[in-house]
Amino acid sequence: MSSIVTSQGILHFEIVGQGAPIILLHGWINSWDVWRSSMLALGTGFSEKNEPPRRVYALDFWGFGASSNPDNKLDCPYLVANYVEMVREFMDNMGIIKAPIAGHSLGGTVALQFALNYPQRTEKVIIVGCPIVGSSLNPILKLASYGWIARLVWKFPFIRSAIMHIILSGDSRQVQQMISRDMERSCLNSFFRSISDLRDTDLRSQLRHLAVPTMGIYGMRDNIVSPINAKFLIREVQHAEVIMMHRSRHFPMTDEPELFMDEVTGFLNKNGRY
């Protein structure tokens, strides 16, 4: 377990491997652990395929996982824009000049915005099940973005558990246990303020300015973030690579891990820009 002190308190992260850096960002009510198997694959480099290992950093956003709940130093630290600055601050602190950024769900939105804000710091960007448009979120999740509903759900854990059971009923036991554990480590404010900001996000008008190699991976059976977001990426980002994983829901790195890693490593190892 590693951590640094940031402007908003303790930032927890995990490291695997040696080599060129890559930064992984998790989704809403998740933690770095969603990337555990991907970290090991990237950190060892698939030696049988002669792919180079990487130094893999997986971060916990403020208010999630083992990172601290900020002490109101910002009006609201749990916004996409502030998580973008969290990544920049992390890179500055670790001496990382430039790296690929990969993000799942909320983390994908942060990764896209980071690449738009800091193209000189972004080697490539990979988004997984990413809501480019917040209106594409599952309607039940959008309800959690309203304060009074979030407080009710937080006050009565059995309601929270029932809702998650409905949403995740088609997911593996591994995914269900991961979400249940990570939700218990989040806080009320990070729970509803981050999803509220995500609900109001619409990056379509900015994507035409994206100047780094981009890959989007979406599960065709995703019921949390609509796969329609893949169309926005294709339409707005010239030469973006989009992979549709037919047997995956919202967690393709868990649902189809070998295919997922083949696509990710293939993209990372391509030379050149657009």
- Percent of the chain scoring above 90 in pLDDT: 73
**pLDDT tens, residue by residue, 199-257:** 999 999 999 999 999 999 999 999 999 999 999 999 999 889 999 999 999 999 999 99
The predicted structure's pLDDT at residue 163:
87
Mean pLDDT over the full length of the chain:
92
For the four alpha carbons of 11, 17, 23 and 27, in that order, the dihedral sign comes to: negative
**pLDDT tens, residue by residue, 114-135:** 999 999 999 999 999 999 999 9
The predicted structure's pLDDT at residue 147:
86
Looking only at the bridges linking them, the beta strands covering 99-104 and 20-25 are: parallel
Which residue type sits at 63? G
For the four alpha carbons of 210, 93, 201 and 160, in that order, the dihedral sign comes to: positive
Mean pLDDT across 71-75: 60
pLDDT at position 267 over 50: yes
Partners of residue 101 on adjacent β-strands: 23, 125
Element (DSSP H or E) covering residue 159: helix 157-167
Nearest to 196 by CA among 152, 255, 159, 147: 147
- Segments making up each domain of the chain, as ranges: 2-268
Which residue type sits at 247? R
Class of domain 2-268: alpha beta
